[in-house]
Structure 1
């Protein structure tokens, strides 16, 4: 079974779950899921403020809905006046004054270490390995610093985490306290005009795969092709679609006969001659008027021409740019690449023919109604004495044609009488 968390086709086995990608995605999922719970609780509070400098006033706000993100908006000029650095005071306050229980800060640090920002504990250390006890009613202060080498317009997001362990002074009790965490994000936006994160519209892209679809409703135009075969109502759309499908299949089929490193011969009239194995067996099926493209092997310029003549093993190409014709005339051994392109003129004529059937009102002849069946009459049989030319009586084909015309078997459609000369068509 594939891993839904990583959105990959890899099997969700032990090897995949031990991979760095899966572990990162799992931790990110848990952080996004539980970060709202990492708020002030159990009588412990976390307050974050900008460390003021030279009486500056700061645009420092907290994200609405208590999501734990703080924003500091600064202009490049103001940041430069601060020496391209800004500091924040993170104060852990033990407000458990009723029980007078102390707390221990077991972890305080930046979740994503980066050389531009750091955190310093109350002892001035940055190794994040020191425990600090905070008595009831007291506060410990940690300093988060962002220091830039250059004054650039940008956004910097600093994720920080504090883990706290509560202590119970009464050692006789079984209650050994509990451990919980605070997660915050400090965003320093260095812009003249800042758009805060909560003001950005939520992206509709989720990258989540769909489940099994049991019913898929087709487009409205596809309904015209139902019930899946040609009828009076879908005749035009049905044949248009079939012709388009045939055209695409033919185009794909021609691409199977692309040729590389072949030679073309110059013939009189500015034409080129190409040997095509299997042309007599219609592999490929090439007819006069089809397009063809050639290029020098390894080059990126192609020349388009038209099939002028199709012979047993050769086809003659005309209409090519004179530069490529001259090059091949001067260098007959020039290796060329060839691909055949489908000529659309006969497909366009067939599409036009389909439309003409509807325009000229021939659909009723192709799909007659059931009304004529109610007035079925006996077919007229012609005897020998009724014929003007009695010699055709022994000619079965001619007699069949005459009887069908007399009985009006075409229901109004014209008849086409054909045959070799001298067979009595007139």
Structure 2
């Protein structure tokens, strides 16, 4: 037996001429191929490749089959294409690792990535902007730059600050979802087109899968990935639509087909927050979010209100609510107006009355938002008795389940033929009052410019989320925030929360002098902020502790008659 040639590389089958052999392009390529084959199972069924018949001349044609194959897909592994001419006289190989883009007039692109995480920041954000082992000098410089930018939010660094924190949050949420990837699971098919997947921990919101997220599905042992759209989230399962028929047929043929599943974070909300932040800066509204120490007070009252003018007569007997409505109606200041108080003090009732009074006394176009659908539904239901269907619309996402809203609300909603539909801009502009979530209103950011923005449950929304709505305004328009910073704040990951994403705009503004109570009288300046004090919901013994700990004993218990 001949002795083994130890100078021959077992990976690329070439002689090791020097110590740099392992860094050669040829060796690195074959090593990637070897690693892929070593750690991944063979392809299943007939997915072994594509047979092409080409001539040397045809290879040069832009429209050739070969060129179509090479330029119509995204390859995440080394690709080796072996070609032989029809007359078998010549053969050649194209080896490349690449991501290509298809440029075709027939291709309809429904989604384009915006504000994606810059590649050079990805690893830094993954580590929470903290140092890690084996950092390059470039990474060290980028880390210093990013940490400097997020030290303190200012009017000048507003966009950069929030872009960095949103990227960090996106990275963290994406990593959290990967912890719940599953292998060798099965799915059921219902209604011939819907895949049903059982997700452990879904009832506890782990992972926090929402309608609109995507799920990547692979047949176990196969490299081909299929993408599905989360159409419905149940207590223990998710329902998935828009999966390629190739995979659906495979599952129909063999319901026991083992599948590997991974969750893909939806970027839509992040993109709209990035856009909102940029629009707030571009329109100049950012200046109103950083109140000066000495703010000029303007107490001019243009619209007086008699008791008989109030839609909700209960407000007549509540001084704080009544005064807040009057101040909001007259829009006496350029700064955002804040209505705050604990649960049961009537924050939503107050802003609903203010909205109705603005509708009655002005021609202003009013946008009413909240972070969640449930809060938007409550607002719309309280407004409906005083508005016609031509004045008010409650806009829902087209993916929302119809059985989650009442029949009465449906009549004021974007519904046609018993389905939620997208609202055209011309129709949207015909309404005086629009009610929708903060994220969804980002769909109309180009041409919808309201005169007033009301945000209920504002303490639960992150500042960039609130900016989606505020970014629709121009300088001089009105912002009203209602909420309670003493309750739950924005739901974000710890790393981004510590740097500021966990603080709502409402809470941040209340740290400015103009929104603080007077040091001697403990009273708030009602030109800028109103604290609601009468509590209609809690027993006095329940109210006692939070009143002492959080509200300076300002709350008063009211017996409902």
User: Is TM > 0.5 for Structure 1 vs Structure 2?
Assistant: no
More helix by share: 2
Choose between structure 1 and 2 for higher RCO, CA contacts under 8 A separated by at least 6 residues.
2
TM-score norm. by structure 1 comes to 0.43
TM-score norm. by structure 2 comes to 0.33
Q: Which has the larger Rg?
A: 1
